[in-house]
Structure 1
Amino acid sequence: MVDVEKAPGAEPQAGQGEPVRRSDAEGCLAVAVRIPVRIVVLVLVLPVRMVWDALVVAGRFLRDTVLRPAGRALAWLGRALFVWPLVGLWRYVVVPLAKGVGWLGHVLLVVPAVWLYRWVLTPVGHGLGWFFTRVGAVLAAIGRGLYAGLAWLGRYLLVVPAVWLYRWVLTPVGHALAWCGRGLVWCGRQVARGVGLVVTGVGFVLYWTVRVLLVLPALAVWRWVFTPIGRVLAVVGREVADALGHAWRIAGHLSRAIGRFLGTVLRWTVAEPARWVYRSVLTPAGHAVRDAVLRPLAAAGRAAGRATRQALASARLSVRQARADVRRMLFGDPAGRRPVDRREPSAAEARTLGRSTTALTKD
């Protein structure tokens, strides 16, 4: 292993870059594996990254030009076909119908039920409560007497004989059985102690047998075989993971450079000629068509519209006059309106700002 760690007391000199990276944890194997692995991984990852970037660009274009407008159109269609009809049905059918059903239920069920509860069930309940209160008082008195009698009979027929049986029969028998049980427990303890000694000896022998035949060889294989192999695989895996990260970033830069180059080529071969054709050829041609054809046609259309509206207005006026003439010939002239006396002073008799008299106080 190559030791490139700097001395403990050394300090980085002024003007130098960041301190030297410690490589004592990497060793010769990591340094030897790193460069080839990164080259191979870069060659393998670059096509994948370019395909990925192309798919991302295509997906964004498809989202902006197809999926988003289609989604908006489907959303509007869904609102027009489902949401708005359902809202109208709920607002103008279900809600009025529910209000009508609620009012009908209130009139047919709630009001009769309240009347029945207030004027029928409440008086009947009060009467039944008074009746059962009186009956309960009588039954309580009878029950207390029966309870006292049954308690006296139970005391002298059950409790007193049971206490005598427990004190003079069951207690001596229980003491005898407890003494016998203590003897059996002592014997069991002695037997269990002997069995425990035998089991301990057998377990000690089995432990050392398994340790010598299985554990120590497995420990040696783990320490001297699997651990070095695992360290080598860990170094290789770490270097492969680092190489994948570096290769993905480098492939991204290369992919963006290639994309910019292709975009520039398409711009100068397709976009710029198309823009020049649009600006230099199609736009003047469109302006000429607009000035020579479309504007005269629009002016002629507006003039024709005005003439048509004037002709229609004249025709409506002629029809209105003819209808009025026919009405006069059939029914005569309409009677004039009779003047109405509003009892208001005329303009000459009314009070003004320069006169001090009114219509009622004038001379």
Structure 2
Amino acid sequence: MEPAGQEREVPARYEPGEGCVTTVVRLPVRIVVLVLVVPVRLVWDALAAAGRAVDRTVLRPLGRALAWLWRTLVVIPAAWAWRTLVVTPVAWAWRTLVVIPLAWTWRTLIVAPLAGLWRYVLAPAGRGIAAAVAWLAHCLVVVPAQWLYAYVLTPLGHGIAWLLRALGVALVWLGKALFVWPWVALWRYLLAPVGRGIAVAVAWLVRYLVVVPAQWLYASVLTPVGHGIAWVVRGIATVLVTLVRWIVVVPVVALWRYVLAPVGRALAAVVTVIVREVGAALGLCWRVAGVISCAVGRFLGTLLRWIFVEPLRWAYRSVLTPLGHGIRDGIWRPVRQALRSARETVRQTRREIRRALFGAPRESERAVTEVPRREPGARETRTLGSSTTALTKD
């Protein structure tokens, strides 16, 4: 037994490592994928760089130039020509030649005559005809109709209604006496008692001739036979189920549990490892190919710089710049000074010739300058014995 107070140490949790399939598959897959991916990445980076360069240096300026040319040479002249040569003349011609004449013709030849005809002919005639028709209708239709309704139709209708009510009452009483009352008496005193007796007899016969024998047959014959058939069917079903279970189900389950499932899990694990490693290898190799592509690009850039750029820089810095400075200081500057001296000499010569031929130019009269006003002096300081007013000043 362990001593009291000493705590049992919990073992460290087991960290499973990578399986043998992963270790075997990883390196070959990565090598193969790297070999396949590096050229693709190099070509991809080269095409991307070329595409960016072409887009930046050729396509964008060309597109802007074409857009400017299209707008300047086609759109603006076409719009101006359409607006100036088509829309404006057509609108003016339509308004001048069609709209204004049609409006004047409509107002003069149609609207004005129709308005006069309606106002001075049709409206008064219509009002007169309406008044005459209303008077004739009132005298020939309304007044006779009122008299006929009041003195002929109303009394006649009242008499016909009284006769119809009396005839209806008589017909109802006669119908009851001839049809309803005999049938009611026949049903109440003959048919109903006979029907009840027949129903009782039929019910007794059905009970003792059908129901009682059927109950005895069900209880004494059909029920035992059904129980026996059910027992036989259950036995046969049990035997069949047992046979199917031990012949089909148990072998299939055992095959699945002990053969197919382990094999499937192993295959799934292997396929999963392979797919995972291929995906990881693709990602890693794509990144490595990117690094390699960048290194190759930098190498090519450095090589081009040392082959072309650096010699040109050296030639510009060591040869062309001193040569240009020498040409500027030894040739161009003296030539400029000589040209400047010659130009000044020519100017002086022209000035002397002009003075000899036409005389010296008159000097412009000097403008009389006004003497600036002196600023007023500061006011004397006020004391107790002095005053600022003119009357009291000393």
TM-score, normalised to structure 2, is 0.40
Name which structure has the greater RCO, CA cutoff 8 Å, separation 6+.
Answer: 2
TM-score, normalised to structure 1, is 0.43
